[in-house]
Amino acid sequence: MATTLLAIGTRKGLWLATSEDRRSWSLSSPHFLMTEVPSIGIDTRGGRTRLMIGVRSEHFGPTVVHSDDLGVTWDEPEHGAIRFPADTGAAVERIWQLHPDSADRPGVVWAGCEPISVWRSDDGGDSFALCRGLWDHPHRSEWGAGYGGAAAHSVVPGPEGTVHVAMSTGGVYRTTDGGGSWQPRNSGIGAYFMPGPAPEFGQCVHKIARDAVDPRRLYAQNHHGVYRSDDDGDSWTSIADGLPSDFGFVMLAHPRRAGTVWVVPLVADGERIPPGGELAVHRSDDAGSSWRRLADGLPAHEYNAVLRDAACVDAGDPVGVYVGTRGGEVYASADEGESFGTVASHLPDVLCVRAAVLGATELARSPEDRARSGASATSASEEDS
């Protein structure tokens, strides 16, 4: 039976949960305790599982660490995986996104950071290069900062050199040449917090996701507004009808099935709680034409928000759906959101979750295997104590 790994990044550390059935979970002790974990990437390409973690100390700054043995040991490049070139005069504030590319581009990993920047690694996340085309973009001086900071928080690679990013604030930008040049792609996306008609850029797009089957179809959860694009981001139309609110942070796409997406609505930007104080996930199976409210197993009363990366899906069959709240609760569904169970409670604010179903190959270097082979290892909790 496959093991599912759920990595939970919080305001004060990382927890790793594992399950054989995605209903009963074992939770690790904290890794990187007292350190913010705003980004997680789980790379299962090439028959190994690499955990990539963006950590940030309030005192000692951000860095990227990775583990190839499911968190038994962690490695950090001595000189840092993500560092601005000297001529930029900039320093990384927070690593918001670590996203492995597709299986046909092994070794490629994307990062989105604060200040607004996108980075590409070709060595599996050991080192990243700044995408200068976006860094030097003429719009940069007009991009703003969302409440959480000015960041490229969503990086969605597509086929043939296409990558979409979303930034707050700035909106959606697209490259079709692998990151060399970038164009805003926000036509149809609102920006109610600005006077006049919606601008070419400057929107506060909270999250974007690509359709599993049609790579030219994308979905966006905006700072008020839920949208779909059928033309690679050239234009967007509302798919908010049927939702209790068009505000929220989450946008998840099914990994295999066309037209299936999940959102987690919040009342409004001025009232960032689930509608009615009742947490619910909403799923569409027809690309946003209609939505179903899913709340079985979720708490009757929940006044905490779910942040943009505090929800994810796995690649299981059926797909698992995971949601973490700023109140430190983490819920898992093994049936695409039809019902949820609790993974963890009373953790610090959940900033991000990522899940992967691990086969025998990916588990080949599990802690138990390492112990059996006599490999020496220092536990993360010892390192961090």
Partner 1 sequence: MTVQVLLPRLLAECTGGRTSMALDVPARTTVDALLDVLAAEHPVFGRRVRDETGALRRHVNVYVDGEEVRRLSGLDTPVPADAEVMVVQSVAGG
Q: Could you tell me the two tokens for 93?
A: 């504030």
Smallest gap from Cβ 141 to partner 1, in A, equals 19
Closer CB to partner 1, residue 76 or residue 269? 76
Q: Which lies closer to partner 1 via its Cβ, residue 28 or residue 63?
A: 63
55 vs 189, which CB is nearer to partner 1?
Answer: 55
**Distance in Å, CB of 70 to partner 1, minimum:** 21
Nearer to partner 1, 76 or 286 (CB): 76
Using CA atoms, how far residue 114 sits from 131, 227, 317, in Å, is: 13, 25, 35
Q: Determine contact, residues 121/109, Cβ cutoff 8 Å.
A: yes
The least CB distance from residue 109 to partner 1, in Å, is 20
Which DSSP letter does residue 74 get?
Answer: -
Closest distance between partner 1 and the C-beta of residue 89, in Å? 6
Shortest reach from residue 384's CB to partner 1, in Å: 8
Shortest distance (Å) from residue 209 CB to partner 1? 32
| C-beta contacts of 52-59 below 8 A and 24+ residues apart | 52/98, 52/100, 52/109, 52/125, 53/7, 53/9, 53/14, 53/98, 54/94, 54/95, 54/96, 54/97, 54/98, 54/111, 55/14, 56/93, 56/94, 56/95
Q: Which is nearer to partner 1, 79 or 346 (CB)?
A: 79
The DSSP element (H or E) to which 313 belongs, if any, is strand 311-313
Catalog residues that contact partner 1 under the rule CB under 8 A.
34, 57-61, 63, 76, 78-80, 83-84, 86, 89-92, 383-384
For residues 292 and 304, what is the distance between their CA atoms, to the nearest angstrom? 21
R_g of the chain computed on alpha carbons: 20
Element (H, E) at 324: strand 321-324
Q: Are 35 and 12 in contact (CB under 8 A)?
A: yes
CB of residue 135 to partner 1, shortest distance in Å:
14
- Percentage helix, strand, coil for the chain under 3-state DSSP, each rounded to 5: 10, 40, 55
The closest of 86, 203, 89 to 139, measured between CA atoms, is 203
**Comparison of 63 and 169: residue with beta carbon closer to partner 1:** 63
Q: Which is nearer to partner 1, 89 or 374 (CB)?
A: 89
Q: Which two tokens stand for residue 204?
A: 């506060």
